[in-house]
Homo-oligomer: A and B are copies of this chain.
Amino acid sequence: MRIEIICTGDEVLTGKTVNTNYSHISRKLEEVGLSVRWGTTVGDDRDTLLEAFHVAAERADAVIVNGGLGPTVDDLSQEMAARAAGVNLVLNEYWLERIEVLFRRHQLVMQPNNRKQALLPATAQIIDNPIGTACGFELTIGRARFFFTPGVPKELFLMLEAELIPRLLARSGTTAVSRVKRFHSFGLGESHVDSLLEGITDLAPGGEVKLGFQSHFPQLETKLALRGSDAAQLARTMAPVEAEVRKRLGHFLVAEDDETLEGLILRDLKGKGASLSVVETFTGGRIAARLAQQPDADAVFCRGLVALAGSEIEAWLQLRDGSLTGGPLTEDALRDAARAALRATHSSYALVALADPASHADPASHAAPAARSPALWFAVATGDHVAVRSSQLRRFGDQEFLRAGAVELGLDSLRRFLRGLPVEEKNDFG
């Protein structure tokens, strides 16, 4: 079944409102195996609305129209639906009564323009909106079935689950399900992963697995999607592909599906009954923020120390003067700092993330990106065991890129340490 979503309204068309209604509808349909083929956005304008309805009526089987059912003069969906279907607008006594009841219940006086919300195309069938005055409805235009929904998110979301999805599934006559598997990696660029995974979809016996990528810098998401009629069969078909993705991404795979890098770190630490402190400079508190906001953080996160000057860190951790300020950072200096962090915070684990002041990023500098990228140093420690990683991010190079990369390098160092993986490993960013 070919589905189109038409979003109406000047607010959405002009970008004033980010179109989250669209993404919500599409995601929900995708989850039940219904795919949207076109998204269309038009304003509160009769000509473009009519044209959008006509175009969709020819190319789609089902069309969801969102917005334009309100009481004001710029709400045109019923009027243009009637015109596109070649029928009249008729006052629907049932819906008028519903509106009146709603107003009485909230002890409000119904405005004359609310009557307009009960005017529906003659051939429309009502789609119930249990919480609002905008009346949903469906009707046929051209060769497609159109489903009209209100723009108020709460009303839309409710009607989508309760009414629209069941009606669309029934209409599609399919019991198809879909399986989407997601892998989150850090350290390899999109084109590198694309090469690494070449030919991988051939491993699915008789299945057409679709491979896709989505960059959420600094992480990359690799997605496998497959449709069929039986969820268990899809899982079996996809299993060898999933296993091979895990193998090829190797140490760079940080999480799957809804898991997150920071969530897994906290789960690992909580499982060990461990506590964690973080010392950071260049990342300015962002490593702490990623960890401290997790649900498991209360049990694990002990202290975060943020400073920009090495001398402040020395004072805080009671390190000898000059160990972080006397020249370029060294592996030994990082080891000392990580051990000092354990002592100062009484945590069982410590992550230290520093930038070499000698190479410190200067946002005003016009030097080439590589020259502006600070040398980053990371140390993870527990008990007597300390691992150190150094890195200099060299791609692109604006400050936000460098900081986001540094945050991820810090968290990734901690993950690798906890999982017994090499903390330092050549990647595409360093």
Contact = CB atoms under 8 A, between A and B. Distances in A.
Contact of A43 (B37, B194, B283): B37
Interface in A125-152: 131-132, 152
A59 interface: yes
Interface stretch (A242-250, A297-305, A376-384): A297-305
Interface string A33-54: 0011111111111001001100
Given A195-B111, A303-B316, A106 B395 contact: yes
A373 to B, nearest CB: 10
A366 interface: no
B363 A295 contact: yes
Given A111-B191, A190-B70, A305-B303, A22 B23 contact: no
A215 interface: yes
A402 to B, nearest CB: 10
Given A13-B26, A20-B18, A284-B289, A59 B51 contact: yes
Contacts of A44: 212
A37 B47 CA distance: 11
Given A38-B42, A305-B303, A16 B23 contact: yes
A231 interface: no
Given A71-B191, A194-B72, A17 B23 contact: yes
B298 A303 contact: no
A239 interface: no
A305 B308 contact: no
A49 to B, nearest CB: 11
A218 interface: no
A418 to B, nearest CB: 20
B105 A368 contact: yes
A27 to B, nearest CB: 4
A52 B4 CA distance: 13
Given A191-B113, A284-B288, A293-B403, A308 B298 contact: yes
B13 A36 contact: yes
A73 interface: yes
A105 B2 CA distance: 46
Contacts of A283: 289
Contacts of A14: 26-27, 30, 35-36
Given A23-B19, A27-B15, A214-B11, A308 B312 contact: no
A330 interface: no
Contacts of A59: 51
A286 interface: yes
B13 A18 contact: no
22 contacts: A14-B35, A15-B25, A18-B18, A19-B19, A38-B48, A38-B52, A39-B41, A41-B41, A51-B59, A70-B190, A72-B190, A74-B213, A106-B369, A108-B428, A111-B191, A131-B396, A283-B289, A293-B403, A298-B309, A302-B312, A305-B305, A305-B306
Given A37-B42, A38-B48, A111-B195, 15 more contacts: A13-B26, A13-B39, A14-B30, A18-B23, A70-B190, A71-B191, A71-B194, A106-B394, A108-B428, A111-B191, A284-B292, A284-B293, A288-B306, A303-B316, A305-B306
